[in-house]
Amino acid sequence: MKVKDLEKGWKEIYIESTDDLWYLKNLIDRGSIVAKTVMRREERSDDMERSKEIPRKPVMVELKPEKVFFQPYTDNLRVQGIIVSGSEDLQGQHQSMQISAKESVELFRENWQSLSGHILKEALLRNASECIFIVMDDENALLAELHDYGIREMVRVPSGKMGKAYQTGYSKIGYFQEIRKALESIKYSGNAIITGPGFEGPDFYLYMKENAMPGVTFHQIPSTREDVGAIYEIIAADEVRKILGDSRLSREKKFMDAFLEGLGKHKLVSYGLGIVATAANMGAVSELMVVEEKISDVKVVNLMDEVMNSGGTVNICSDSSNYHDMVSSFGGILALLRYDI
């Protein structure tokens, strides 16, 4: 993400990746205004003209958002709202705006401090490397992409070891070749971490050492699971963090491990808005986790501001995160405490 300050309250934001779209989603609320060129049909009053296909024309509009939809699998952010600036005949009309990577959008907020400032800073300072995880065993391989908002499953490659073809058609080298083809088909370059139980992972790592792919650096780190849970198992390990840097997912993993450990011991944790707010008032919250749908609640935003003002850190748990449902089951707000209250 790249940001340029414009006139008071306005910023121009250049979207570099799908992850930036997720951050932008959490910067847009009902109190903001989004400006971008959209394609609209020219309104005609004549019945004969209305019956014809009217071409769309580019129009610059300022939109007061009502709903924001992040679409990670289509790499788009869609904003629905009311036009508040533009030609007089457009003002007050409903408009849908689509924002994609490699585009710029202008965003107005009265206040770029507190929570919005935290989100923007995190987006600008993010330093995690791109990565593909290859979770595999002797039956199939899952290719999954690491994002700030969670894990995106991309391709599954069967080994051919199951079913009727196994008796005559299974080949480990053939299996490895199919995984390589899947990597080539998504035109990936960057780090690739091979994980999963058994011997297939280490064997595939050696195969790729001998059959290198330009632009892809392979690593092999074992895990005990053969599904997407394998990624969450290893993501916070020092070995993985040396490869990827400080990813949001690794921070979520460390937070949840500490929370669940504290919950089991009945010490230094709290959850739910009321109890956590009491702890925050006492300066006792060292780290906070909030599901992203809660950050439209003024009380929750005030809580997050209070934690940051007292030197604590805040984490927004994406609705695409593997931890989202668990955090939601505790009221959507979890806290690690400096001391028991």
Pairwise pLDDT comparison (89 vs 268), residue with the higher score = 268
Contact 170, 180 (CB under 8 A): no
Give the pLDDT band (50/70/90) at residue 48: very low
Residues 171, 174, 178, 183, CA torsion sign: positive
What's residue 27's pLDDT? 94
Give the pLDDT band (50/70/90) at residue 50: low
Q: List pLDDT tens digits, range 184-217.
A: 998 888 999 999 999 999 999 999 999 989 999 9
Query: Which residues does 243 contact at the CB level (< 8 Å), separation at least 6?
Result: 129, 131, 191, 193, 219
Q: List pLDDT tens digits, range 287-299.
A: 999 999 999 899 9
- Is residue 47 over pLDDT 70? no
Q: How many CB atoms lie within 10 A of CB 318?
A: 22
What's residue 168's pLDDT? 55
Q: List pLDDT tens digits, range 77-121.
A: 999 999 998 667 788 889 999 999 999 999 999 889 888 999 999
Average pLDDT, the chain: 90
- What is the C-alpha R_g of the chain? 24
Domains and CATH numbers, the chain: 2-125 (2.30.30.870), 131-246 (3.30.420.60), 249-337 (3.30.1330.30)
Give the pLDDT band (50/70/90) at residue 41: confident
What's residue 11's pLDDT? 96
- Is residue 218 over pLDDT 70? yes
Backbone torsions φ then ψ of 19, nearest 5 degrees: -60, -40
Give the pLDDT band (50/70/90) at residue 130: confident
- Is residue 65 over pLDDT 90? yes
